[in-house]
Homo-oligomer: A and B are copies of this chain.
Amino acid sequence: MKDRISAYDVAEKAGVSQSTVSRVLNNYPFMKETTRKKVLTAIEELGFTRDEIARSLASKKTRTIGLILGDITNPFFSESAKVITRKAQEMDYNVILCNTNHSEENLNKYIQTLMGKRVDGIIVASADKDNQKIKELYDKGFPIILYNSIMEHDHANYIAVNNYKGAQLAVEHLYHFNHREISYIAGPSKYVTTHLRNLGFKDALDKFGLKMNEKFIYDREFSYDEVYLFAKNLLNQQSRPTSFFASSDQMALAVLDAAASEGISVPEQLSVIGFDDIDLAKNQFIGLTTITQPKEKMAMLTLEKLVSLIEEKEHVDAPIQIVLEPELISRKTTGIYKS
C-alpha cells in the first residue's frame, strides 16, 4: 500500500490530479513549467525520489476508459456516449470511443487495441450474444460492463433495459389502437438486445391472439437504406400493414421516410412506433411514439459501476447485473386505426 499512498500524497501536496503527476514523470509535452515544478518539489519534500514515484505509477491506472459503440450514427449510442464522456470528465477519466459498424471482427480488434492502450476498463455498447473475447475478459476479472445488452455468463456485468417487456408494451399500444396488421423491424437475433425484443414481440402477438405474418418481419442487419426499401415495398402492396414497430428509433425514421415517399400520412393512414426515445423523438416537429430507455440513468450507472470495478470498490465475484424498466411514450406517430 505504501506505493499507492505515495502517489496520492504527491498529487495532494502539489494540488494536482494523479494523472498530472503521471504526466510529469512521463515527460508529456504541453505541461506548464510551473505545474511540472510543483509536482517535482512535492516529490522531493515528501522524501521520495522521482524514480520511486514513477515505478509506483507504472503499475497503476491510466485513468482511461474504452467505450465501444456499434454504430456512432445511431443517436441512441451517440447520446449515451455523450453522457458517459461528460460524467467521466467530471471523475477525471478520459474516454476513448471506438465504432465497430456492427462488425464482430471490428469489435474484437478494438478490444485488442484498447487493451494495448492499457485502458483501465471497457464499456461495450453492442455485442454479439456469445462473444468470446468479452467472456475471456470477464473470466480474467478485467473491468468490463455491457451497456444496453445482457450476456448469459456467470461473471457478466451488464446494465440494460427490460427489452422483452419494451417490445410487449409496443404491441399492446398498437393493439389498443385497433391495429391487427403489424410490421416489425426486428433486426438480427444474434444481438441479445434484439433477441429479447423479438421474443417479447412474439409473445405479445400470442397474448392478443394475433398471427405473425412472416412477410411483415425484417430480420436482417440494421441498415437505414435496406429498412427504407423493405418498408416502401410493403407499403406498395395491396394487403399492407396498418402499423410498424421498429426495434430502434433510427429504423422508425427510415419507415417514416418510406411512408412520406409514398404519400402515406402518419398517423392517419399508418402508425409508427420506435424504441429508444432518442432526443429527436421528443422533437415536436416529429413527435415519434416510442419505448423509452432511461438512457441518462443507464449511462451514468454504467460509468459509476465501471469505476467502482476499476477502483476495486466492488468485488468481481459479485457480478453487476441491473435491468431497468422501459416505458411507452405516446406522441404523434401513432393513432387509432379506422378500417
Contacts and interface: CB of A to CB of B under 8 A. Distances in A.
B81 A99 contact: yes
A273 to B, nearest CB: 14
B29 A112 contact: yes
A82 B99 contact: yes
Interface string A17-32: 0000001001011100
Given A89-B106, A108-B30, A78 B73 contact: yes
A101 interface: yes
Residues of A in contact with B, size category? 35 or more
A261 B286 CA distance: 11
How many protomers of this protein does the assembly include? 2
A75 interface: yes
Given A73-B78, A73-B82, A81-B99, A256 B279 contact: no
A101 B82 contact: yes
Nearest to A272: B285
A71 interface: yes
A253 B260 CA distance: 18
A252 to B, nearest CB: 10
Contact of A94 (B75, B110, B287): B110
A72 interface: yes
Interface of A: 23, 26, 28-30, 64, 71-73, 75, 78-79, 81-82, 85-86, 89, 94-99, 101, 106, 108-113, 115-117, 133, 136, 224, 253, 256-257, 259-261, 266, 279-280, 283-287
17 contacts: A23-B116, A28-B115, A28-B116, A29-B112, A29-B136, A30-B133, A73-B78, A81-B99, A85-B99, A86-B101, A89-B106, A94-B109, A117-B117, A253-B280, A257-B284, A259-B285, A285-B286
Given A30-B111, A81-B99, A85-B101, 18 more contacts: A29-B115, A30-B108, A71-B82, A72-B78, A72-B81, A73-B75, A75-B75, A78-B78, A82-B99, A89-B106, A94-B113, A95-B99, A96-B97, A96-B117, A117-B117, A256-B285, A260-B285, A260-B287
